[in-house]
Amino acid sequence: RKFFQRHRNAAITIQSFFRGHQQRIHYMHWRRAAITIQAYVRGMFAREVASALREMRRVEEEMRRKEQEEEERKRQEQERLEMEEQERALLEEQIMATQKELAAIASLVEHNVKRAQEASECLDLDEMFSFLSDVQETKPNVQDFVSEIGQQMEALLQDVEEEDNNSLISAEDQVRTPEASPSPLPPPNLSSPITPAAPYSPIGSPTVASDKGDSPSPLPPPMSPLGLVNGNAQRSPSTARKSVQ
């Protein structure tokens, strides 16, 4: 019986050690599997965080790029507006200079007409009567001279309008490139001779018939170029200048 008890206790001890060894092996497998799963989970979370950070960085860069593009667009728009303003001011100065030239031409015509009127007062009666025969030939020449000046003024104004339209179109087409200032307007054609109109006296005038010593009535001054451009042939040069200004 003692022998049996000793062998039985030895078998129980061996079995307990064997079970402990098996359980330890299972525990090590489970522990390694848990560590692997935890590593996979941590890696998945880390990848998600990294992806979120990359997306956030991409969004920030996109927003920064859009802000820079918006600032660049505003700067270019401001430069374009300033350039258009400068061109508009330059064009206005050129128009004002042209108007001054037209006013100078009109004043020169008035001065020549007044000088011709003053000179006509000194003419004698014979010259007056000799002039009456040429009145019908003089009037077409005066009308041709006035119509020529009117055509020149209309052509000059058309050139100014075309220059303005071309500058606006080129400013809209060339937004990202600096624009060249528009070429100055051509000066008015002053090659046409400005001659004073010869005085005349209507036939059968009571002044001529009654009094030989009275001065003949002068020819009315030719119409101002400004009046022809404005479409009103009856205005005086001073009134035409006021309407242009």
Tokens of 235: 């205005």
d(CA 148, CA 151): 5
- Would you mind telling me the total number of residues written for the chain in this entry? 245
Position 49 scores a pLDDT of 95
SS3 96: helix
Listed by start position, the domains of the chain span 1-129
In this predicted structure, the answer to whether residue 54 has a pLDDT above a threshold of 50 is yes
In this predicted structure, the answer to whether residue 41 has a pLDDT above a threshold of 90 is yes
User: What is the radius of gyration, based on Cα positions, of the chain?
Assistant: 52
**Winning range, highest mean pLDDT, from 70-79, 118-127, 222-231:** 70-79
The confidence band for 175, taking pLDDT boundaries of 50, 70 and 90, is low
Instruction: Give the containing element (helix H, strand E) for 88.
Output: helix 2-120
- pTM exceeding the 0.75 threshold for the entire prediction: no
d(CA 112, CA 241): 18
Of the candidates 189, 190, 170, 200, the residue with the CA atom closest to the CA atom of residue 84? 170
Position 161 scores a pLDDT of 78
Residue linked to tokens 């041709």 = 144
Position 151 scores a pLDDT of 76
Position 63 scores a pLDDT of 94
Q: Higher model confidence: residue 65 or residue 146?
A: 65
Contact 237, 107 (CB under 8 A): yes
d(CA 159, CA 100): 17
Tokens of 108: 């020169």
Percent of the chain beyond pLDDT 70? Answer: 58
The confidence band for 126, taking pLDDT boundaries of 50, 70 and 90, is low
In this predicted structure, the answer to whether residue 115 has a pLDDT above a threshold of 90 is no
Residues 3-28 have a mean pLDDT of: 92
> For residue 185, how many other CB atoms are within 10 A of its CB?
16
> For residue 142, how many other CB atoms are within 10 A of its CB?
17
> For residue 78, how many other CB atoms are within 10 A of its CB?
10
Distance of CA 88 to the CA centre of its chain: 7
Residues 128-146 have a mean pLDDT of: 56
Position 150 scores a pLDDT of 72
Tokens of 58: 């991409």
d(CA 97, CA 94): 5
Position 65 scores a pLDDT of 94
Distance of CA 245 to the CA centre of its chain: 23
